[in-house]
Structure formats: structure tokens, C-alpha cells
Amino acid sequence: MIASVSSVQHRVVVSETVARALRERTPVVALESTIITHGLPQPENVQAALQFERTVAERDAVPATIALLDGIVHVGLEPEQLEQLAARETPLKLSARDLPVAIAQGATGGTTVAATALLASRAGIRVFATGGIGGVHRNAATTFDESADLGILGSCRITVVSGGVKSILDIGATLERLESLSVTVLVFGTNRFPAFWLSDSGYQVDSPVTTPEEIAQVMQAADQLGLPGGILVANPLPEGTQLDPALHDRLLAEALDAAGEASLRGKEITPFLLDYIHQHTGRSSVAVNLEIVRGNCRLGADIARAWSAVEDGA
């Protein structure tokens, strides 16, 4: 069953389970849906999506997978809706700027980090678990190529749990941009900022945190200050589960050369680089991807529970 969170005119609905959790201030974790539409083939995509939801639920939080189905924004998908989304032959990949057109045209698609963060924030969800966020691309000084994820993080009050920034990007420039946008950046358990497949990007941050409760306290302080944007919590992989750093560096260099030879630009670059690395690791990098998201789902649920405790005590 679904319950409207706004008028039908606005075409946004929230599942009854998520709506009840929000009303009762019980923990909720938002999840994106591009892994269903663009991240994995069938039936792996649905299996992974259900596994992420179970991981959140096993930590006593309510999962809220977000997607667009026939022009309707759904915050929280039922299993049959996950199947429906996975079965679409040409679903769209929807960033925040794409949502108005897609809604108006009655389209179906998976929501990216930017779109998911925006929609979750509007629905009142405070924690969102994903894989890795986008950022400033290499050579952005000439291409001006920067992910919409950063702007949304700078303007939406939400805590995003990720494996850091994708290693195919310019991580140093991305951290500088996050600072410019006044996005608070935390790293869980260390001060070494991760690089998605790798536990350590070579950059460090000033604000390591060690418990979900500490993160919830940072969220509360940000609210009290009235900061307009969100918080990025980077959750490094254990070193034993990361992609081999030497293999990663070699394949990334090869992938960047191949992208240059193919004259790829803009949004064509990231999926090409990711696919190149997936194919040349025998898809072992996909297994690492899934472990990253599962770990972030666990931490996201723990943060959501800590945040609920803060709300109850407010």
C-alpha cells in the first residue's frame, strides 16, 4: 500500500511502511535505485536491491528505496515495484535536474545520488546510504565537469553514507569543492579519506568519528546552527576487502587512456571507466562494489537509529 506525502498533483508517494516510520520517528535509511536500472544485469540487480534493504532492516531501520515509476516518485518500493523497475527495457538514469521533465512525461527511471538525496530530504528522511558519490572530474579546469551530487549535498539537509568519492575522479579537487559548499565531511574510524574501491585515497580529513552516536550529535549541531546543506560520512572498506591497489592504478590509467582515444565527454566518461575496470577485473570489482554498499547500509542504519534517539530526546 502507498500513502501520499503530498498532493497527487505533485506526484510523490511514500510507502505506508516508510510513512509510518517517519510519523513515529523510527529509523529510516534512503537507498538509490540506479543500481537496479544501470548498475547490474538481471536478476542480479533485484537480488542486490533486496539484499541492501534486508541489510538495513536487520539493523532495525526501515529501508526506503527511491525511484520514478510512470512519472510518480516513490519513496519506498514494494518488492513487485522493484521487479517492475528492473524489468523495464530502457529506464532512465535520473539526476536531480532530470526529475521535472521525467515526471511531466510519465517516465520511469532509477535515481542517482543527487536525485535520491533531494527526494529523501524533501520526504523528511535524514540518512541515505549509497556506494560512492560523484565529484569533480579529472581535467575539470577545462571541461567544468562536476557531479550534481556536490551541489545537492550543499543544499539538502541529509547525511550521506558512502565509500568516499569514486577513485576515477579528482578526489583532492572534490574535497576542496565540498569545503567551498560548506559540506561537513566525516570519516568513520580513521582520518584517511577512502577512494571507493580503495581504503585510502591518500587524503586525510580533520574530522574522524568513531561511533554512530557521534555522527548523530554532529547532525544535531548542524541543525541548531541552521546549516542549509548536508553531511558526508565516508566509510572506508577494510583493507582486506579492497581492490588490489596496484591493479586498480594500472587499470584506471588504461581506462583513462581508452576514454581519451574514444573522445568521450561528460556523462559518458564515468560509466565507461567503471565498466572498463569491471570487465578487466573479471567483475571482482563488482563484488567489492556490493560489499561497499552493504557496509554503508549497516552504518547508515546505525546512524539512523542514533538520530532517532536524538530526536526522541529533543
Question: Which residue in 16, 24, 32, 214 is the catalytic one?
Answer: 32
Query: CA-to-CA distance for 291 and 293, rounded, in angstroms?
Result: 5
Phi/psi for 153 (5° steps) reads -60, -30
Q: Is 53 designated active site?
A: no
Cell readout for 188 is 568513520
Half-sphere exposure (CA, 13 Å, Cβ side) for 211? 6
Question: Which residue in 166, 179, 239, 311 is the catalytic one?
Answer: 166
Work out whether the CA dihedral 216, 195, 117, 223 comes out positive or negative: positive
Half-sphere exposure (CA, 13 Å, Cβ side) for 130? 30
Q: Is 89 designated active site?
A: no
**CA 163, 167, 168 angle in degrees (round to 5)?**
135
To which residue does cell 541529509 refer?
158
Indicate the length of the chain as a whole number: 314
Task: Please name which of 105, 102, 112, 103 lies closest in space to residue 267, comparing C-alpha atoms.
Answer: 112
Active-site residue set: 32, 166
